[in-house]
Amino acid sequence: MAKRLWVERNKDGSWDAFSDDGAHIKFGKGRGQFTPGDLMKVALAGCAALSSEFAVEHALGEGKGAKIVVDGTYDADNDAYINFNEQVVVDATDAGLSQEDADKLKERVTRHIEKGCTVKHTYEQETPVRMEVTIRH
């Protein structure tokens, strides 16, 4: 079973998300806060970053990684994102790669993300959400 997560409202109107293992993030709709839609993009970018990490470090050295930028097209009529655009940039300028090695790295990074990014796999299919509302009184 996946890690259990929950959110709680703060007095200032922001929210905190928690996990059973101690992770924490603040979010909301205020200035300087991630919205839930932003967190969807963070999840996609973060998944690509973690999925590509091995390929990038193997080619460029420990501690190296990609910069992933994600944006999306929001459909206000349906209150949903209709697509996401993900740009993965690996800065290999200091590595002195040949064009052939750069092409191989691009292919490995792509393959790792295509194979290992659960968030991307989930977004690419219809994913039912079951919801239950409980009112304690």
Rounded CA separation 78/63 (Å):
41
The reported pTM is: 0.90
Give me the amino acid identity at 111.
R
Q: Which residues contact 18 (CB under 8 A, 6 or more apart)?
A: 5, 6, 7, 8, 24
What is the rounded average pLDDT of the residues 21-45? 95
Is residue 34 within 8 A of residue 42, CB to CB? The reply is yes
3: pLDDT strictly greater than 90: no
For the chain, give every domain's residue range.
1-34, 35-136
Is residue 66 within 8 A of residue 55, CB to CB? The reply is no
- Which H or E run contains 42? helix 36-60
pLDDT 10s digits, 90-125: 999 999 999 999 999 999 999 999 999 999 999 999
13: pLDDT strictly greater than 90: yes
